Structures are given as structure tokens and as C-alpha cells.
Amino acid sequence: MFRTTKILPTLCAFTLAWSALATTGVYAAETITLGAAVSFTGKYSTNGMHTKNGYDLAVARINETGGIKVGDNTYELKIIYYDDESTPARGTQLIERLVNQDKVNFILGPYSSGLTKAIAPVTEKYRVPMVEGNGASRALFDQGYRYLFAVLSTSEQYLQSAVDLAAERASAMGKEPSSVRIAGVFENDPFSQDVRAGVLDDAKRHGMKMVIDDKLPPEINDMSTSLTKVRALKPDLLVVSGHAKGAALAIRQVSEMKIDVPMLALTHCDSAQVIDKFGKTAEYALCASQWDRTLSYKDEWFGTAEEYAQLFETTYNYAPPYQAAESTATVLTFVDAFQRAGSIDKEKVRDALATTDRETFYGHIDFDDSGKNIAKPMVLYQVQDGEYKVVAPTKWASSELRHPTPPWAQRQP
């Protein structure tokens, strides 16, 4: 009896004191915990690693430079990671777990549109803000989600400049833009199908005709049937989208089958490392990218885009792909919102996120009502003499587009 009577008040006092401490936050250097379910295994594991590296670099940088000042407190950042195994079902369960059991109030996005699509309803349900940098599908932004913010350009913009370029070239050569014929091969997954939808829209806008519209199943590692059609129909522009697999297959089989197209536009060239792997056969290919280290953006955390790229290289020993850059930008967006909200209340942070309007090394970030970033354009590279050169949009173009691609018979082996 004696012992219980004594322990109970002590416990109560302790609990009270602790909660008082926690709420008023007397201690400096508390932590804000962010949660992320990223693919360490499965088909997205490589890009999942880029994503995680991007997040980690931002957190390390923020904590090194003295944390985040929110109101009167200084916070450090911490991320809880889980492995979503590249499957949507697992992803949703893990977000539930982050929110319910780990009590995380802020979610960083996963890799790929499919997983973001799976997770968004969950974060919406719990009213937990999620900022993501790797889910580009535009279907994410017509659901009326209030707690979803994306720093990257949506997928229909990926190959928009390629279609526009083809139209420009047609007029330059004295032809109607509507005479341009497009062939498309898109992998059968949420991301590439969205790229396809974007290309279809652009084609319609210019009055162009899609002569081939194929969907490549994820298991198939052969594109020769589609390319046979390309040879028969001789389109002016061939667009291929299918993560790294699509890019690698397109470059390889177009060169082996000696398919002549005036313009070949791809996504994910850099993750497929087409220059290293295919050398000269990759020349003239156009590649969509979210970001490039040569662009003139900068911020107070990392300095310029080039400085970010150098820091990334010294930390991880490889050049940052845009997947890593956009992930870093995701964390920075949260940090900016914490500071402006002056609070770590999730509703206030959500409202602060909605009014984000600032520049980062990754580009300008300004969310519209649906949560997508409308301030940052995509860039289009062309492989020229073994290097990626930005050729569109004109504002950042570092060299002239080489067009049309000469036929294989005239190209040096």
C-alpha cells in the first residue's frame, strides 16, 4: 500500500512535467520527424535509392547549418523510412503505420506515380500533408486532394517540348505543323500512360496525327514489333516512354534495326545511362528531364544547382540524377513551410505549403490549388557529341537542336 501511494503521485507529476515540457518546448534542438515509404526493393529500388539519398542530403544539410527556426524554437530534422517493396498495397499500409503508430505528421513522397497514387488517399484521409517529388502523373491532381503537393512538373509536360519542337521544325521547313506524324511507344504503367496522354493532347493541339500508339507491357523486353511498324509508316517523330527500360530498348533496337526517324524523343535517358552504354548510337536522341545542374537556380541552403550537384557527388560518389534533386527539393519545401507557418501544427503547415512561392536550387516552386508546381518548366536535352545539351525551352538552351537526324546509312559507325 505504502509503495503504490508514493509511486502514483510521482508518476503523475512526472507525466505532467513531461507533457508540459513537450508542449511548451523549453528545450532547444527538438526534432521534427518526417516519414517516408520508399522502394528499397523491387522494380523501383534504384530510383528509390536516389530518392532516399536526396532526402538524406537535405536533412544532413539542414541539421549541419543549425536546424530550422520555427517560432522561438530550433528543430532538427529526422526521417523514418520504411521499404514499400515497390508495391502500392504495401505502401498504403506503411503510411498508415507512419501516421498511426509512429505519429508522424509530415510525409515525404515515395518513388513513382503508381505508389504516390496509392498513398495520396491515405494522407488525405488523415489530413497529413505530403510533399512529393517523384509522382508526376497528372491524375494525382484532379482528385481534389488538399494535402498533396508536388514539386515536380507533371508527366504530360515531359515530352511537350519535343512535340512543340517537331511543330517548329515543320514550319521552318515550310510544312504545316499538322502534317507531322507521331509514333508513340509507351510502357503500360501509370507514369508512361500519363506521358502518353500529354503527347496525345499536344498532338491534338497542333492537329498532328498519331500513327502508332503502342503500350509496352513491363515484362516484355523486345520492342521490335513496334519498330517494324515505325519502319513501315515512317513517322516524323518517335516518342518512347518507359522508365529506364524504354530508353535502353529504344536506343538499342532503333540502332540495331537501323530505323530512320528524323526525331527520337525519350524519357529517363539519364537513369538508363544511354551515353555510357550506347555511345555514338545515342546521338541525336532527345531526352526529357526535370532538372539540370547547368540551370541558373539557387537557394540559401545549397547555393546554385551546380554547387548542389558537386556536394551530392562528393557525398555519394555519383552525379545526381534529377530524381535525387527533386527529392531534396521536397524536404526544402517542408522546411520553408515550417518557417513561414511558425508552427509545426499540421494544418498550419499545410496552409503554409499551399502559399509556397520561392526559388530553390531545383527551380521555382509555386503550387496551384490542386497542389502541383506550376512554376518550373521541364527541360529537353539532346545527346550531342557524347554529352547532354539543353536544347529547349529556349530560355535555357545551351546549344542548337540538331535536326533532322541523318539516316543510319550516313552516320559514322
The residues in 184-203 that bind another protein, with binding defined as CB under 8 A, are 185, 187-190, 192-194
Distance CA 352, CA 166 (A): 40
| CA nearest neighbour of 308 among 333, 337, 329 | 329
Amino acid at site 12 = C
Using the contact rule CB under 8 A, the part of the chain among 117-125, 319-327, 345-353, 368-376 near another protein is 117-125
Judged by CB, which is closer to another protein: 190, or 377? 190
Q: 3-class DSSP state for residue 82?
A: strand
Q: Is 218 in the site for another protein (CB under 8 A)?
A: yes
Q: Is 299 in the site for another protein (CB under 8 A)?
A: no
Cell output for 390: 539543353
**Smallest gap, in angstroms, from Cβ of residue 136 to another protein?**
12
Contacts of 132 (CB under 8 A, 6+ apart): 108, 109, 110, 116, 148, 149, 150, 151, 330
Amino acid at site 63 = N
**Smallest gap, in angstroms, from Cβ of residue 29 to another protein?**
27
SS3 content of the chain, % helix, strand, coil (to 5): 45, 20, 30
**Helix residue spans in 76-176 (DSSP H):** 88-100, 113-125, 160-172
Pick one of 26, 173, 220, 319: the residue that binds another protein (CB under 8 A). 220
Q: Is 125 in the site for another protein (CB under 8 A)?
A: yes
Pick one of 34, 182, 216, 325: the residue that binds another protein (CB under 8 A). 216
- Applying CB under 8 A, the site for another protein has a residue count of 76
Exposed e or buried b per residue across 386-409, where buried means at least 16 C-beta atoms within 10 angstroms of its C-beta: eebbbbbeeeeeeeebbbebeeee
Stretch 244-283: interaction string toward another protein, x if CB under 8 A: xx--xx--x---xxx------------xx----xx-----
Stretch 21-50: interaction string toward another protein, x if CB under 8 A: -------------------xxxxxxx----
**Smallest gap, in angstroms, from Cβ of residue 329 to another protein?**
24
Residue with cell string 522546411: 335
Q: Is 97 in the site for another protein (CB under 8 A)?
A: yes
Distance CA 158, CA 361 (A): 20
**Smallest gap, in angstroms, from Cβ of residue 97 to another protein?**
8
Pick one of 33, 63, 143, 315: the residue that binds another protein (CB under 8 A). 143
**Smallest gap, in angstroms, from Cβ of residue 193 to another protein?**
5
Pick one of 88, 109, 110, 320: the residue that binds another protein (CB under 8 A). 88
**Smallest gap, in angstroms, from Cβ of residue 399 to another protein?**
27
Strands 379-384 and 387-392: antiparallel
Using the contact rule CB under 8 A, the part of the chain among 19-27, 79-87, 335-343, 392-400 near another protein is 79-87
Separation in Å, CA 300 to CA 332, 359, 360: 10, 10, 8
Restricting to residues 221-250, which ones interact with another protein according to CB under 8 A?
221-226, 228-229, 231-233, 243-245, 248-249
Q: Is 101 in the site for another protein (CB under 8 A)?
A: yes
CA 328, chain centre distance (Å): 10
Contacts of 245 (CB under 8 A, 6+ apart): 187, 218, 221, 272
C-alpha radius of gyration, the chain, whole number = 24
Judged by CB, which is closer to another protein: 67, or 242? 242
Pick one of 122, 237, 331, 335: the residue that binds another protein (CB under 8 A). 122
Pick one of 66, 217, 303, 406: the residue that binds another protein (CB under 8 A). 217
Contact indicator for 405, 261 with CB cutoff of 8 Å:
yes
Judged by CB, which is closer to another protein: 255, or 294? 255
Q: What angle do CA 81, 85, 91 make, to 5 degrees?
A: 65
Judged by CB, which is closer to another protein: 223, or 237? 223
Q: How far apart are the first and last CA of the chain?
A: 92
Contacts of 161 (CB under 8 A, 6+ apart): 288, 378, 379, 380, 392, 393
Pick one of 33, 74, 87, 343: the residue that binds another protein (CB under 8 A). 87
Judged by CB, which is closer to another protein: 197, or 354? 197
Amino acid at site 337 = A
Judged by CB, which is closer to another protein: 216, or 383? 216
